[in-house]
Amino acid sequence: MGLWDKLKNEFIDIIEWLDDSNDTLVYRFPRYNQEIKNGAKLTVREGQSAVFINEGQIADVFGPGMYDLTTENLPILTTLKGWKYGFDSPFKAEVYFVSTRIFTDQKWGTGNAIMLSDDRFGMIDIQAYGTYSFKIEKPGKFIKEIVGTDGHFTNDELSNQLRSVVVTRFTDAIGESKIPIELFAGQLNELSEFVHQVMRLEFMEYGLELTKMLIENISMPEKIKEEIYEYSRLNKIDLNKLAQMKAAKAMEEAAKNPSGGAGSGMGMGMGFAMANQMGQMFNQQQSPQQNSSQIQGSAGTPPPLPQQSQYFVAVNGQQTGPFDLSVISQMVQSGQLQQSSLVWKQGMGNWDQAGNVGEISSLFGAVPPPIPGN
């Protein structure tokens, strides 16, 4: 065997990569100063790509299959090398194998709480975690943007960088989603899909495809949860009925107080005030519907009834109210409002005794006199 024949046996004639790590993203085929033969065999298995690099420039990219390396199969490398009529001598080139399979169950989490601004609840800190899946969609771009000259690039090296991207984009996307905070827990799928669409473009810049993005949990402080619960509860109930219930409870508590007197009167007055204020809130919330009713009234339906007068009541030298006539009537029935009690409403010059006010004085006629002997 001649010297040339011996040297030819040192050249690479089979190029392949058997991956048994399940964690390797990019693997550089070792040459150890050897050269690749003309007509060498290249084997690229399913879930792989092979990228040829010449002097730092990405040349040809091969998908799964078996290839004989000739000028026909290496068109870009042939141009870079200046092979006009084919080549007979061995050549040098770096060959990188890239895993293109899907890497699943990648964990992400916010770690520290992130701050969100809400129009109703103010600044809220939340935490979230979940999983995502990705694969290398453009091997050449991935090597150029991420790997560089690393000969053995693993998922662990990439995961920290991707987690940082996921958390940053999640924070932006969650604010842009416009989904009310109280609906986060019930719309995790919708949020996951929205965040996925936002982050796809970010992954594409690295030659990656984000195949799945899942938010498994979003948590917030217990105090905020309680506020959201109360808000959603009040948003569902009839505030007018709630006002009546509060008034009834105030009267019941006053009746239980054996000492009676000033303290019970004050408690009663404050109870009526709270109930009346909540009723007014309800009426304000209903104003658009009332306006709509007025419009319909012009078409043949009667307009809404005018609002009742609102009176302030002096209780132990303190101003309480305002109360409408329905609440005033309840106060008369319970004995908390006497004919000598001072009242005032808009339009009156000064405070006056309830028995002197026409709207209220008629209410005292419906109160039964004291039982004889008591």
What is the distance between the alpha carbons of residues 256 and 247, in angstroms, rounded to a whole number?
14
Domain ranges of the chain: 3-99, 103-138+148-224, 237-283+307-364
Span 320-327, mean pLDDT? Answer: 81
Span 208-217, mean pLDDT? Answer: 92
Decide yes or no: CATH 2.30.110.10 for domain 103-138+148-224: no
Q: Which residue has the higher pLDDT, 160 or 103?
A: 103
Strand bridging mode 122-136 / 208-219: antiparallel
Lowest-pLDDT range of 85-89, 143-147, 230-234, 315-319: 230-234
Strand bridging mode 114-118 / 352-353: unpaired
SS3 content of the chain, % helix, strand, coil (to 5): 40, 25, 30
Q: How far is CA 9 from CA 34, 91, 147, in A?
A: 10, 14, 32
Say whether pLDDT at 207 is over 50: yes
What is the distance between the alpha carbons of residues 251 and 238, in angstroms, rounded to a whole number?
20
pTM of the model: 0.56
What is the distance between the alpha carbons of residues 227 and 217, in angstroms, rounded to a whole number?
19
pLDDT at 369: 58
pLDDT at 96: 94
- In DSSP notation, 94-157 reads EEEEEE-S-EEEEEEE-SS-EEEEETTTEEEEEEEEEEEEEEES-HHHHIIIIITT-SEEEHHH
Q: Which residue has the higher pLDDT, 172 or 227?
A: 172
Q: What is the CB-side half-sphere exposure of residue 135 using CA atoms within 13 A?
A: 10
SS3 204: helix
Q: How far is CA 349 from CA 202, 308, 312, 343, 361, in A?
A: 70, 19, 13, 11, 18
Confidence of residue 261 (pLDDT cuts 50, 70, 90): very low
Span 61-81, mean pLDDT? Answer: 88
What is the distance between the alpha carbons of residues 338 and 316, in angstroms, rounded to a whole number?
13
Confidence of residue 241 (pLDDT cuts 50, 70, 90): low
What is the distance between the alpha carbons of residues 259 and 359, in angstroms, rounded to a whole number?
31
Say whether pLDDT at 281 is over 70: no
Say whether pLDDT at 345 is over 80: yes
- In the chain, the percentage of residues whose pLDDT exceeds 90 is 18
Query: How high does pLDDT run on average in the chain?
Result: 77
* Residues 346/297, Cβ–Cβ less than 8 Å: no
Lowest-pLDDT range of 180-184, 232-236, 331-335: 232-236
Tell me the per-residue pLDDT of 4-56, one tens digit each, with 9 for 90 and over: 444 444 567 889 999 888 889 999 998 766 688 888 899 999 999 999 998 88
pLDDT at 39: 85
Tell me the per-residue pLDDT of 122-135, one tens digit each, with 9 for 90 and over: 777 888 899 999 99
The conformational region for residue 206 under phi > 0 = left, psi -120 to 50 = alpha, else beta, is: alpha
Token pair 């005018």: residue? 306
Token pair 């012009």: residue? 298
The one-letter amino acid at 263: G
Say whether pLDDT at 113 is over 70: yes
Token code pair at residue 39: 């007509």
Confidence of residue 262 (pLDDT cuts 50, 70, 90): very low
